[in-house]
Amino acid sequence: VFDITPGPETGSFSVSARFLGVQMEDFLLRYQDLLQLQYEGVAVMKMFDKAKVNVNLLIFLLNKKFFKK
């Protein structure tokens, strides 16, 4: 399970991973980095060296959850 919350800076998000209720890792995700990956044509990125995440779907999720007007 990934918990995504707004980060300390504008355009950043704190991502924490849990597996079977146990806290695994925390990761600071920058929106600008996602846009750069999308521009470069990267379809999938690794998070926590264990999970693969679709870049376009993650951008869509962040837009829907945090930037919706």
pTM of the predicted structure, to 2 decimals: 0.79
- The 10s digit of each residue's pLDDT in 6-64 is 988 988 999 888 888 888 888 899 999 999 999 999 999 988 777 888 999 999 999 88
If residue 5 lies in a helix (H) or strand (E), which one and from where to where?
A: strand 2-6
pLDDT band of residue 1 (cuts 50, 70, 90) is confident
pLDDT band of residue 69 (cuts 50, 70, 90) is low
Q: By three-state DSSP, how is residue 22 classified?
A: strand
Phi, psi of 49 (to 5 degrees): 55, 15
CA gap 11, 13 in Å, rounded: 7
